[in-house]
Amino acid sequence: VKKLQAPRGTLDVLPQDARRRLDIIAMAGVVLGRAGYEPIETPVFEDTQVFARGVGESTDIVQKEMFTFEDKAGRSLTLRPEATAGICRAYIEHGMHKLPQPVKVWYAGPFFRHEAPQAGRFRQFTQIDAEAIGSDDPSLDAELILLHAEIIEHAGAGPARLRLSSLGSRETRAEYLEELKQYLRAREDELSQEVRERIDQNPLRAFDADHSGTQAVMRDAPLLLDRLAADDTAHFAEVRALLDAEGVEYEIDPTLVRGLDYYTRTVWEFESDRLGAQAALGGGGRYDGLIEELGGPPTPGVGFAAGIERMLLAAGEQPSVPDARVFVAVAKPNAARHAFGLARRLRSAGMRVELEQAGRSLKGQLRQADRIGAQATVIFGDAIEVKDMQSGEQREAADADHVLELVREAAGS
Ligand code: HAM
């Protein structure tokens, strides 16, 4: 028979890693909760149109990377490649514009993109996503950047470089891209062949070129940041002033492009030197036209997503800290039922208790108690004894209450 394996690009998260993930998500909930972000959950699959219209028909995500399928009634559904479009769909569907604005929500869960798997890139991955919808106040952009940085730091994934830019409005961006294309065409013979061939599809690519001729051309190239409308420039200046006042370091990168079409004004990405080619720990930005694009009233919004797998990779191996543990050993076959009842009682008292459930000899059970890092072992034989695993001292307990007392002493709590 064929060996069954997890599908390409997916991960089995085994207990030790699973614990770290839950810890990171719980931490993010605390950090975001302090700033008024409440949890939300949306479906793992949506009407394909949510992403086609939300993320944008021309993006790699929509053109190449979506897991799209038909349900039995022939409706086109897609496993969500990201959270923002679905959350905005829910905001519209539930008339959340009637709530006090901004509506602040966060979410952690699985996302799906059919990309070529490599280090830090998976087909199923996990994001922590936060959104503030219903206000274009620049303090929200700055707040989310600071929260994003705090989550990365607490996840142990720092230090991270913050790249920041503003894209202005969609119209400004379209005009700018035309201007850039014309500029590149006018100096076409100085460019590398690769850049020359992609002037129409991706003129921004030229900013990242290694080719020295291209680099010389790009030194004088027009920049989107210099073409922003006055109110977009003022908005960006305020975001930066708030970050400066908080002592946040960032690099203005006028060539920062994000892989989603909905962005307007502020965009950012956190990168780590500890990751390889897939260096982005997370990214975000403002999307003031998205809700209207999805059929809702004109509504501004801003948010980010942090990649959990990438943060864990950047954080590296961390030693696992054993909890205070109690092992309940059975030295006599007819003691098993009492042992079972006692384990339950100790658990109700808030202790982390494991019980012999694999038919080991007493010697094997004591070895198992060591292996799990037990601080106390309760041995059920003719009498009930509690062994302090550190000192080796073994004392007889008079009754169940006494067991609890001796276990507490041995576990140092
Ligand atoms: P994104 O930049 O596409 O943004 O994804 C955010 C983060 O998710 C990435 O920086 C990366 O850490 C992680 N990520 C993305 N794709 C993969 C993958 N194939 N494997 C592993 N990790 C991955 C968004 O998704 C936007 N929705 C963020 C946002 C929220 N903008 C506004 N609000």
141 touches ligand 1 (CB under 6 Å): no
Distance 60 CA to ligand 1 centre (A): 13
380 touches ligand 1 (CB under 6 Å): no
For the ranges 124-138, 149-163, 319-333, the lowest mean pLDDT is seen at 319-333
Distance 25 CA to ligand 1 centre (A): 16
Under the banding of pLDDT at 50, 70 and 90, the label for residue 168 is: very high
Calculate the dihedral angle through the C-alpha atoms of 50, 289, 309, 36, rounding to the nearest 10 degrees: -110
Q: What is the pLDDT of residue 277?
A: 86
Q: What is the pLDDT of residue 330?
A: 96
83 touches ligand 1 (CB under 6 Å): yes
Percent of the chain at pLDDT > 70 equals: 99
305 touches ligand 1 (CB under 6 Å): yes
Q: How far is CA 328 from CA 53, 120, 337, 359, in A?
A: 58, 42, 12, 13
Q: Say which residue the tokens 């679905």 belong to.
A: 86
For the ranges 55-69, 238-252, 318-332, 376-390, the lowest mean pLDDT is seen at 318-332
Distance 394 CA to ligand 1 centre (A): 55
125 touches ligand 1 (CB under 6 Å): yes
Distance 389 CA to ligand 1 centre (A): 47
56 touches ligand 1 (CB under 6 Å): no
By the 8 A CB rule, do 191 and 213 touch? yes
On the question of pLDDT at 413 being above 70, the answer is no
229-278 pLDDT per residue, tens: 999 999 999 999 999 999 999 999 988 978 899 999 999 999 999 998 88
On the question of pLDDT at 350 being above 80, the answer is yes
The span from the CA of 273 to the CA of 284, in Å, is 19
Mean pLDDT, range 191-199, rounded to an integer: 91
**Residues whose CB falls within 8 Å of the CB of residue 197, separated by 6 or more in sequence, listed in order:** none
On the question of pLDDT at 6 being above 90, the answer is yes
For 180, the token pair is 């850039």
121 touches ligand 1 (CB under 6 Å): yes
Q: What is the pLDDT of residue 96?
A: 98
On the question of pLDDT at 61 being above 90, the answer is yes
301 touches ligand 1 (CB under 6 Å): no
Distance 147 CA to ligand 1 centre (A): 16
272-283 pLDDT per residue, tens: 999 988 899 999
Mutate to test the pocket of ligand 1, among 91, 112, 115, 127 (most ligand atoms within 8 A of CB): 127
pTM of the model: 0.93
Under the banding of pLDDT at 50, 70 and 90, the label for residue 204 is: confident
The verdict on whether omega for the bond into residue 333 sits within 30 degrees of 0, i.e. cis, is: no
Q: Which amino acid is at 297?
A: P
On the question of pLDDT at 323 being above 80, the answer is no
Q: What is the mean pLDDT of the chain?
A: 94
On the question of pLDDT at 364 being above 60, the answer is yes
127 touches ligand 1 (CB under 6 Å): yes
Under the banding of pLDDT at 50, 70 and 90, the label for residue 201 is: confident
Q: What is the pLDDT of residue 321?
A: 66
Residue of 305, 327, 322, 319 lying closest to 379 (CA atoms) = 327
Question: Which is more confident, 323 or 383?
Answer: 383
Mean pLDDT, range 98-122, rounded to an integer: 97
Q: What is the pLDDT of residue 322?
A: 62
356 touches ligand 1 (CB under 6 Å): no
211-225 pLDDT per residue, tens: 999 999 999 999 999
